[in-house]
Amino acid sequence: MTLDLEAFTLAVSDDDLDELRRRLRQARVPDDFANDDGSYGLARAWVADMLDYWSGDFDWRAQEERINAVPQFRVTLDDVPIHFQWVRGEGKRTVPVILSHGWPWTFWDWNQVIGPLTDPAAHGISSEIAFDVVVPSLPGFGFSSPLRRPMGCRDVAELWNTLMHDVLGYDRYAAVGGDWGGKVTGELAQLYPEHVIGAYSTLQTIPGVTPSLDGADRFAPDERWMFEQMAAARPTVTSHLEVHRRDPQTLAYALNDSPAGLAAWIWERRRNWRDPDTLDDVAADRDFLCTTASIYWFTQTIGTSMRFYRDNFGERIPPPLPRSGPSPTPVGFGITPRDVLYMPRAEAQQHVNLVHWSHLPRGGHFSAYEIPHELASDIHTFVRPLV
């Protein structure tokens, strides 16, 4: 195991950037009709406009400069290359926290959360505590590549604890995640209660508990909206999960060869599962979508990122850890009104040490990107009583 940190600077070559633009300009965008409502998938007009922007006016170098403004490192853990950002907190009392992303996220989804966590006073949040923030890329995603073996959420949790405890020297730390990052965070809570101060997730998911999309009567009357929201999101979620968990490699041959196809696959999820009321800056959102697609394209990790589904479903899921009861690690959930999966509060209380259950006023599946200030404030609220 190599524990030597290497400073990392993102520097895409001019040749790679030129090739991306050439492929985009030569994209064969298919015909589309009777699809103004997007019922067949992303409408051609919107995709064509985005591809035109990505190949022309989009300034990758400006985004690269923004990314490089945040301290980044790489380290190899158990033969797995791991990329991460590491920003120290401003204040007398700092708490380490690791932020885990999902799919089709990247580490960059957390960018606007870092400031309110590391320097809360500058963002109008109580400065009783600040955070040392660590934002890794999941194995096989972005710059945590190449990946050469299957990787489940429990495997990632083991790597994250090694990173936080053995590499960075934090004996106690908080863990936060969304989407797959929420699953990883849950594994951290169960595996390492002696190290994890508290585990906070934006997705109501618990290791060893199979999510259910059925049974409205499982939800209390004031939670019935959760079931209705899951039902509304179910068609897009079901189609997404089936292809990713069954044959991701076949799809990867197409997406890894076509930036237009790769982007459309990613962008559809970003549009379907967000809260449209959080779209405050259309221009910035367009840049973010192009940056996300660019990271997957330049690193050629669309295939290994999708394999994460195959490696975390069915027979590949490790058995639950033997316990006489819930892990003692305090757990919190930050619930948004436009997410894709929910769990009744009473059900969650049966499986974890639930100490925080908050309803954020807006946001969808990508709350770290959609509502960074609100989310950061809720993370402060969760962690503050635990330290």
- The residues, any chain, with a CB within 8 Å of residue 32's CB and separated by 6 or more, are 40, 43, 44, 45
User: Domain 74-386 has what CATH class?
Assistant: alpha beta
Q: For 92, how many CA atoms within 13 A lie in the half-sphere containing its CB? A: 2
- The residues, any chain, with a CB within 8 Å of residue 294's CB and separated by 6 or more, are 12, 20, 54, 60, 63
- Quote the Cα angle for 98-100-102, to 5°: 175
Q: Which residue among 240, 244, 351, 365 is the active-site one?
A: 365
Copy the structure tokens of residue 81. 């290359």
Q: Which residue among 132, 179, 311, 378 is the active-site one?
A: 179
Does 309 qualify as catalytic in the annotation?
yes
Lowest mean pLDDT among 58-72, 315-329, 338-352, 353-367: 315-329
- Which residue, among 372, 292, 302, 304, has the nearest Cα to 106 in the 3D structure? 292
Percent of the chain exceeding pLDDT 70 equals: 98
Question: Which carries the bigger pLDDT value, residue 369 or residue 317?
Answer: 369
Report yes or no: 153 and 100 within 8 Å, Cβ to Cβ: no
198 phi and psi angles, rounded to 5 deg: -170, 155
Average pLDDT over residues 345-362: 97
Copy the structure tokens of residue 144. 């945590």
Question: With bands split at pLDDT 50, 70 and 90, how would you rate the model's confidence at 268?
Answer: very high
Residue 339 has pLDDT above 80, yes or no: yes
Rounded CA-CA distance 100/80 in Å is 16
| Residue the block writes with tokens 């940190």 | 5
Copy the structure tokens of residue 59. 């300034």
Amino acid 323: pLDDT:
67
Does 119 qualify as catalytic in the annotation?
no
Buried-state track 224-244, b at ≥16 Cβ within 10 A, e below 16: eebbebbeebeebbeebeeeb
Q: Which residue among 170, 173, 296, 309 is the active-site one?
A: 309
Q: At what angle do helices 248-255 and 224-246 cross, to 10 degrees?
A: 80
Report yes or no: 319 and 154 within 8 Å, Cβ to Cβ: no
98 phi and psi angles, rounded to 5 deg: -110, 130
Average pLDDT over residues 372-384: 98
Copy the structure tokens of residue 361. 């006023």
Q: Which helix (H) or strand (E) holds 379?
A: helix 372-383
Copy the structure tokens of residue 357. 């259950």
- Which residue, among 183, 187, 186, 188, has the nearest Cα to 173 in the 3D structure? 188
pLDDT tens digits for range 83-135: 999 999 998 899 999 999 999 999 999 999 999 999 999 999 999 999 999 99
pLDDT tens digits for range 280-332: 899 999 999 999 999 999 999 999 999 999 999 866 777 777 766 788 999 99
* Ramachandran sector of residue 41 (left: φ over 0; alpha: ψ -120 to 50; beta: rest): left
Rounded CA-CA distance 10/362 in Å is 33
Report the first-to-last Cα separation within the chain, whole angstroms.
32
Residue 2 has pLDDT above 60, yes or no: no
Would you list the DSSP string of 41-64?
SS-HHHHHHHHHHHHTT--HHHHH
Report yes or no: 365 and 340 within 8 Å, Cβ to Cβ: yes
pLDDT tens digits for range 130-167: 999 999 999 999 999 999 999 999 999 999 999 999 99
Question: With bands split at pLDDT 50, 70 and 90, how would you rate the model's confidence at 194?
Answer: very high
Provide the mean pLDDT of the chain. 96
Distances (CA, A) of 102 to 155, 232, 244, 305, 360: 15, 21, 14, 9, 19
Amino acid 140: pLDDT:
99
Domain ranges, ordered by start, for the chain: 74-386
Does 179 qualify as catalytic in the annotation?
yes
- Which residue, among 230, 141, 136, 238, has the nearest Cα to 177 in the 3D structure? 136
Report yes or no: 203 and 341 within 8 Å, Cβ to Cβ: yes
Amino acid 1: pLDDT:
44
